[in-house]
Structure 1
Amino acid sequence: MPRPSTREVGGGTQSVERALSLLQAFTAESPERRISELAQLSGLGQSTVSRLVGTLEALGFVTHDERSGLYRLGPTVVGLAGVALNQSPVHRQARSLAQELAGELGLGANVAERHGDALFYLCHFEGRLAPRAYTMIGSKGPLHATAMGKALLSDLGTDDIEALIGAAYPAYTPRTIRDLQALTAELDEVRTRGYATEVEELAFGRACLAAPLRDRSGRVVAALSVSGPLSAVDLPNRQDELALKVIERADQISTGLGYSAVSPMLTR
C-alpha cells in the first residue's frame, strides 16, 4: 500500500487541527456559535470554516439549529465523552458512592482529577438542597480556590506547587487565597485533618468540603467533595459530620483503587 506524501500528511494534520480548534470554541459560557463567530475566533476564512463545520456536522460532532442559525456540540461528542469516562478507574470506583453521598446529605457530590494546573470534574450529582441546572462533568476549576483543588495539591511539596501554579494567584472573591505562603499554610491543615474546606473562595454564597482519593501507590489521584449553598452546607454546625461522611466514602473509593492505609513495612 503506497504511503501518503509529506504534503498530504501535513495538509491532513492541518485540517484536523483546524477542526479541533473549532470544537474547542464551544464552551460552557458560549455553547452555541455562528459561522461568523467561529471564523473570527479561529482566524480562518469563513468559507474554510463553513467547509469544516459541514464535515463536523455530517459526522455528528456539531448540530445546526435551522431557526436560529446557531451550531452546538452534537451527539458524537457526548458519545466519546461517555467512552472516556467509562474507561476512567476513578470514575468507575467513585460514581455510585458519590451518588449515594448526594442522596444521603442532600448536597452536591463531585469527583475531580487534576489535569495540569486545573481540576477536571469526572462526576457530579445534585442533592435536593443544592440543585443545579447544568452538569459540572467536563468543566475545570482552579486548584488554589477550591476545596477539591486543595485536596488534589495536598501530597505535593511547596516547590512542586510553585512550579505547577506559581506563587501568586487570581482572586475570585475577597476570601480567595492569593499567594503560595497562605496556600502552603492551608495545605498543612488539610494534611493534618484529612480534608479541605472552601467558603466563598470561588463564588459568593457557596461552600465545599473535600477529601483526597489515593491509588495503590498512595498517591493522591482525585478528590471527592460535597458542596452547595452556605445555608445547606452549614459548615459552622455540620463540618465534623460532613467530614466524617466524605472521608468515609473517600476511603471506600481509595480502597477500590487499590490503596491500603497500612504501610507495606508493617506487614513484613
Structure 2
Amino acid sequence: MTPAPDTRPDYEDDRNFATALARGLSVLRAFRTDDDGLSNAQIAERTGLPKSTVSRLTYTLGCLGYLTQPQRNDRYRPGPTLLAMGHVAAASLAFLDSAQGMMQALADQTGTLVLFAVRDRDKVALMRTWRPQRAASIWLEVGHRLPIAGSSSGLALLGATTREEFAGLLADHPEPPLDGGTLEDLRLEARGQLIAKGYTVVRLGLRYSSNISAVSVPFRSARLAGPVMFSCGALDDVLPDDRIHAHVGPVLRETVARLQRLVGADGVPAWPGSPND
C-alpha cells in the first residue's frame, strides 16, 4: 500500500503553508542510515509522491547540494549541504556529549540497549544508541521510528508534554493506542507513571513489539522545544517487569536526573507536576 504524501493535510488550505517545500523535505526524510542511496522510484514509494514530482525535487535538491548523484542515473545520497546542516542541528544536542559515558556505563551495567529518541512528527525516532560491551542486545538502528502509543519512549513523550505541546502532537495525527483508547487517556496514564515512579513502561497489550520490553525517562534541554527520551530495552527474558521496577527503571531515572543536573536543571523533572497541566 502506497503511503500518503508526506505533507500535512490540515494545512492544505493555509495560505502560509508551502506545499512544495513540504514535499522537498519529505524527500530528504525518506533517507535512512542503512540505505546505500535511493532511486527516484524508491523515494516515490516511501513518500507517496508521484515519480515525476520526485524527479523534479531530487534534481533541484541536487543542484543545491542537499543530495548528491555521483554518476548520471546513479542513486541519490545525502549531499554536503545537508551534512553541514546536520552538524549545525547537532549543536542543539550538545548534552549528548556529556551523556556518552553515562549511557554507555548504563548499557554495560544493565545489559540492555540504551536509546536516545526524539519526536519525529507522528512517531519517535532513534537518534543514538549505546550497546552493552559484554552482552548481546536487541538491534535497532539510528533513524528507526517507533509508534508513540506503542513504545515506552512514546509514552514518556506523552507524559512529559504540556497541554500546548500535546496539541501540536495531535496535529500530526499519531496512531491511537492498540486497545482502542485515546491518546489523551494514555497521556494521563503516562503522566501518572512519571509522577509515581519517574519512568514509563508500556502495557503488554499496547506494545508495538510483543517480545521486547523497555523503560523510558523524558529529558528536557533549554535548547529544545519539547521533551526527548532516554530508554533501556531488551528481550522480555532479559528485561522482565520485575527487573524493570527493581533495578533498570530506577537506575535509568537516576542517570537521566544526573545528566539533567549536569546541564543546569538541578532537581527539575522533565514533566509537569499535575496530570492536568
Q: Deviations over 1:7-50 (max 9, x none)?
A: xxxxxx99977754533343579775333455685433687467
> Displacement, 1:71?
1.7
What is the identity percentage for the equivalent residue pairs of Structure 1 and Structure 2? Answer: 14
Name which of 210, 214, 218 aligns with 1:212.
218
1:89 aligns with 2:89: no
Q: Label 1:60 to 1:246 Cα distance change in 2 as closer, same or farther (>3 A).
A: same
Q: Please tell me whether the aligned partners of residues 107 and 130 of structure 1 are also in contact (alpha carbons under 8 angstroms).
A: yes
The residue number in structure 2 matching 1:26 is 31
Count of residue pairs the alignment pairs up: 242
Name which of 224, 228, 232 aligns with 2:230.
224
The residue number in structure 2 matching 1:198 is 202
The residue number in structure 2 matching 1:187 is 191
SS at match of 2:202: strand
**Which structure 2 segments of 5+ residues have no match?**
1-17, 270-277
Query: Which protein shows a greater Rg?
Result: 1
> Displacement, 1:162?
5.9
Scaled by the length of structure 1, the TM-score of the pair is: 0.68
> Displacement, 1:95?
2.8
1:1-268 correspondence to structure 2 within 5 Å? 20-27=25-32, 32-38=37-43, 41-43=48-50, 44=52, 48=56, 51-52=59-60, 55=63, 59=65, 61-63=67-69, 71-74=75-78, 76=80, 77-78=82-83, 80-114=85-119, 117-127=122-132, 128-132=135-139, 135-136=141-142, 138-156=143-161, 161=166, 164-165=169-170, 170=175, 179-198=183-202, 200=204, 201-215=207-221, 221-261=227-267
Q: Label 1:179 to 1:88 Cα distance change in 2 as closer, same or farther (>3 A).
A: closer
**Which structure 1 segments of 5+ residues have no match?**
1-12, 264-268
> Displacement, 1:192?
1.2
Q: Deviations over 1:121-173 (max 9, x none)?
A: 332122333142x522x44433322212222232446786466338x96367x
Quote the Cα distance in structure 2 between the aligned partners of 1:142 and 1:112: 12
Alpha-carbon RMSD: 4.2
Quote the Cα distance in structure 2 between the aligned partners of 1:21 and 1:208: 30
Q: Please tell me whether the aligned partners of residues 117 and 164 of structure 1 are also in contact (alpha carbons under 8 angstroms).
A: yes
Quote the Cα distance in structure 2 between the aligned partners of 1:240 and 1:154: 21
Q: Please tell me whether the aligned partners of residues 98 and 111 of structure 1 are also in contact (alpha carbons under 8 angstroms).
A: no
Q: Label 1:35 to 1:158 Cα distance change in 2 as closer, same or farther (>3 A).
A: closer
Q: Please tell me whether the aligned partners of residues 215 and 244 of structure 2 are also in contact (alpha carbons under 8 angstroms).
A: no
